Amino acid sequence: VIPAEIIKKKRNRFELSSEELAFMVNGYTSGQLPDYQMSALLMATFFSGMSEVETSALTQIMLDSGQRVQFEDSGKVVDKHSTGGVGDKTSLILAPLLAACGLKVPMMSGRGLGHTGGTVDKLESIPGFRTDLSLADFKKQVDEIGCAMVSQTGEICPADKKIYGLRDVTATVESLPLICASIMSKKIAEGIGGLVLDVKYGSGAFMKTEDNAKSLAAGLTRVGEDHGLKVKFLITNMDQPLGAFVGNLVEVAECLAIMTGDDCLGAEEQSFNDCKELTIELATQMIQVSDLAMEETEARKKVIAALDSGQAFETFAKMCHLQGGNLGAIQLPTAFSTVVAESSGYIESYNTEQIGIAAIELGAGRKTLNDKINPLTGLRVHKKVGDLVEAGEPLFTLFAGKEVPEATQAKALINQSVAYSEAPIATTPLVLFRE
C-alpha cells in the first residue's frame, strides 16, 4: 500500500475503503505514517468530503484505537453533546438531573475551544473538583450515583486525540466528516445507548447558519445510528449567550441557582429561564433516547419534578463530593465593572462570538493551549435580544476575584458586540427544530 496513492484517491474524490482508512489512521497513531501524509489526507478530506460509509468507518477506527466503557444496561445510559456556545452550561445540570431520573450519564467533556467555554474548565472552578478519573473509577461512579463528569482520558480514542492535534495546526478542523467522526467516536466509547445532540447555530456558535447546523446534526445522527445509538437532536439558537452568566465559576453558580431555585450574584431566577428551559427540553429528549418507555409529556414532568424537588442538586452535590469538589469552599467573585447601554432602544443583536472572546480576554479562557484560565472571571449578561434598554442602563457586569484584571480590551469588545434598534425586534425561538 502506497500512502500517496490513498491520499490521491481521496484528493480525486473517490471513496476510501475501511482498510485504506485504517491503514492511514492506525499508521499515523502508531507513528509509522509521517504526519505530513496525514495532514495532506486531512486537507484532501476537507475538500473532497467523505461518504456516510467512510465517516462511519473512520469513527469505528478511532473507536477501536482505544478502550470503550461497557455498561450492562446500556439502554439506560445516555449523554448529551453540544456543539458549543457562549454561556452554554446545560451539561452541569443534565448529568445529575438525568441520574436523578434513574438514568446513567457517563459524561466526558472537553475544555474551552475557540470562543466557547468548556465543561471541564467550569467544573474545575469548583475547589478540589477532579475531572481526571481513571476509566474504572469513572464507570464505578456512574454505576453508583448515576453520573460522573470527566475530561477525555488518553485511553479513549487516542487516534482522534492525535489527529485532532494535527487538524488544529493544519486548518482542517472545519470538515463535517472529520467533526462527526471525532465527536461520535468519543461519545460511543462512553458506552451509551442514547444520545441527544444540541446543535447550535448563530453568532456565538461554530455553525453560523441554521442550514450548516442541520447538516452537522444529520451527519452526527447518521454516524450514531450506524453504531446502534438512539439519537435525537435539537437545533438551537446561539445568537446570544445562554442564561445570565459567561465564565467558569459564575456559570457553576448559575447552575447551582437553577438546581436550588435561588438567586445568583444579584440575578433573579427569571434571568436563567432560557437556560433552564433548554435544560428541561434536552433532559426530556434524553429520556426519549433511553429505554425508559415514556411519553414526552410524562418525561418532561418527571424532569421538572427531579429539578424542582432538589433531587438533581442532591445528585450534583454527591458527584462533587465523590470527585473531590467542595461546594462549601466556593467563594463567589465580585463585580468590578459594568458596561452600560450606549443608546436607548431595543437590543437588536449580539455578536456573541465577540462576547466569548471578551470573556477570554478577562481570563475565562485560553488564547493559546498552555494558558492558565482564571476561574473567577466572567460576566453577567443583563439583557436578552428584544429587551428595551435605556442609555446608561447596565448591560453587562464584569466579575473577578480580588485582583481585578485590566478589562479595557474586553469592555471595548463587549461594547462593539451590541446592536440597538429603535423598533421592537422579532425574536428567534431558542429551540428551532427537534428531531
Binding site for a second copy (CB under 8 A): 3-5, 7-8, 11, 34-40, 42-44, 46-47, 166, 168-172
| Catalytic residue status for 167 | yes
- Which of 42, 195 has the CB closer to a second copy? 42
Four-CA torsion 341, 345, 346, 347, nearest 10 degrees: -30
| Catalytic residue status for 186 | yes
Stated as kind and residue range, the H or E segment containing 225 is helix 210-226
- Which of 14, 392 has the CB closer to a second copy? 14
| Catalytic residue status for 276 | no
What is the rounded distance in angstroms from the CA atom of residue 220 to the CA atom of residue 308?
32
Min. distance of Cβ 43 from a second copy in angstroms?
A: 4
DSSP string, 140-184: HHHHHHSEEEEEPPTTS-HHHHHHHHHHHHTT----HHHHHHHHH
Catalytic residue among 175, 182, 271, 290: 182
For residue 184, how far is the Cα from the chain centroid? 13
Catalytic residue among 167, 187, 232, 380: 167
Min. distance of Cβ 3 from a second copy in angstroms?
A: 7
Catalytic residue among 122, 162, 186, 302: 186
- Which of 49, 401 has the CB closer to a second copy? 49
Min. distance of Cβ 176 from a second copy in angstroms?
A: 14
| Catalytic residue status for 321 | no
* 3-class DSSP state of 427: coil
Min. distance of Cβ 35 from a second copy in angstroms?
A: 4
What is the rounded distance in angstroms from the CA atom of residue 81 to the CA atom of residue 200?
11
Min. distance of Cβ 220 from a second copy in angstroms?
A: 23
| Catalytic residue status for 9 | no
- Which of 37, 311 has the CB closer to a second copy? 37
Catalytic residue among 79, 88, 121, 160: 160
User: Could you tell me the CA-to-CA distances from 152 to 193, 340, 380 in Å, in that order?
Assistant: 19, 40, 29
- Which of 163, 242 has the CB closer to a second copy? 163
Q: How many CB atoms lie within 10 A of CB 355?
A: 25
C-alpha cell at 200: 447550535
- Residue position matching grid coordinates 486548518: 171
Active site residues: 81, 160, 167, 182, 186
